[in-house]
A and B are shown apart, each in its own frame.
Chain A
């Protein structure tokens, strides 16, 4: 939905006397919005400049976008000449940590074991996306809460540390950042997502918890946001 918001904002900001260039990730939406200047980038959703860790490629996208400012009239819609696809169909292949504490649920054990990888990713990237509601220290306990939900405990009694979808988002971030370190290169879009939800213990728990919560009373109204649609 972001491209239609970007297209709308471009109209409003341009009308206030500022020149705008909108990047687009969903062509039918930008065609309908018809903002003053738009560069459609057929890149993975979430990556409007195409390639993370590739400043030269990103500069080419910016140059193509800013070149639209030289047009004498609008609306202008052009396509960036290169396309990039996600690789949700090719989960990252990497060994998962062995069981360490058999007394602990496998997903919790796994989350703890991935901490060094997450630390390496944080140091390499200079930051983290984990911490909207749960930081890395709290991830194993958050996973444990979803283990309880998957086992049938009502989600309202599972001691989740915050909104379930927001907690799930932090768990996903923790795993995906660990995956960046395990792979030791910038991953194709959604390769880590598919790794998490299709190969890890925690991914299976999140999907099982979602299935339980779908039957819950009271219902969790934001259940749509617990697991990516492509992984449900």
Chain B
């Protein structure tokens, strides 16, 4: 096996390398941090927003550089694939169990157990490789928030990949 790079210690952990590479990427600076007090979790409607670039099987895949938009999925949709174009993260986890990045089944269970009030009717997926986040801040992010508010969402769990 071609493990030279591992044996010389240069790349023992692929994720460590990636984390070092992206650690200093600039992020938008917010002068203040908004803070909203939610209702008790047992009464709250919870939605997921992931950056896994989820898409439906059969949908046309398009390159995602700079794509600041999002897709909307119903709470019962399960045939979703990771359309995120980066090769630099593990994909077997979500292939074996979607919940490791998109914990929709866990939310259903928490609802059934009375831990959260309800699962939102719709959930969103952005995609991760967005260098310029301006459009997310001024356009698609607020539109996503308005959509979720319209669905009566109280709490949003955001998951990266």
Whether A36 and B34, one on each chain, are in contact in the complex, defined by CB atoms closer than 8 angstroms, is: yes
- CB distance B23 to A163 under 8 Å? no
Please count how many residues in chain A sit with their CB below 8 Å of the partner chain's CB atoms: 98
The residue on B at minimum CB distance from A90 is B6
Return the CB mask of B77-113 against A: 1 if under 8 Å, else 0. Answer: 0110111111111111111111111010111011000
Binary per-residue interface labels of chain A (25-60) against chain B in the complex, 1 for a CB within 8 Å, 0 otherwise? 110110011111000000011111111110100110
Q: How many residues of B contact A (CB 8 A)?
A: 91
- Closest partner residue, chain A, to B53 (CB atom): A2
Report whether A131 and B101 are in contact in the complex, using a CB–CB cutoff of 8 Å. Answer: no
Which of A26, A49, A166, A191 is the one whose CB lies under 8 Å from B100?
A49
B92 near A192 (CB under 8 angstroms)? yes
Alpha-carbon separation in the docked complex, A62 to B105 (Å):
12
Whether the pair B88, A36 counts as a contact (CB closer than 8 A) is no
A229 at the interface (CB under 8 A from B): yes
In the bound complex, residues from chain A placing their C-beta under 8 Å from that of B17 are: 229-230
Residues of A within 8 A of B156 (CB): 10, 13, 18-21
B69 partner residues in chain A, CB cutoff 8 A: none
A52 touches which one: B6, B23, B94, B131 (CB < 8 A)? Answer: B94
Q: 8 A-B pairs, CB-CB below 8 angstroms? A: A20-B158, A46-B90, A48-B159, A65-B157, A66-B155, A69-B41, A88-B13, A230-B14
Closest 5 CB pairs of A and B: A2-B160, A2-B128, A12-B141, A16-B145, A230-B14
B interface residues with partner A (beta carbon < 8 Å): 1-3, 6, 11-15, 17-19, 22-25, 27-28, 30, 33-38, 41, 44, 49, 51-52, 55, 57-58, 61, 63, 65, 78-79, 81-101, 103, 105-107, 109-110, 115-116, 126, 128-131, 133, 136-137, 141-142, 144-146, 148-149, 153-161
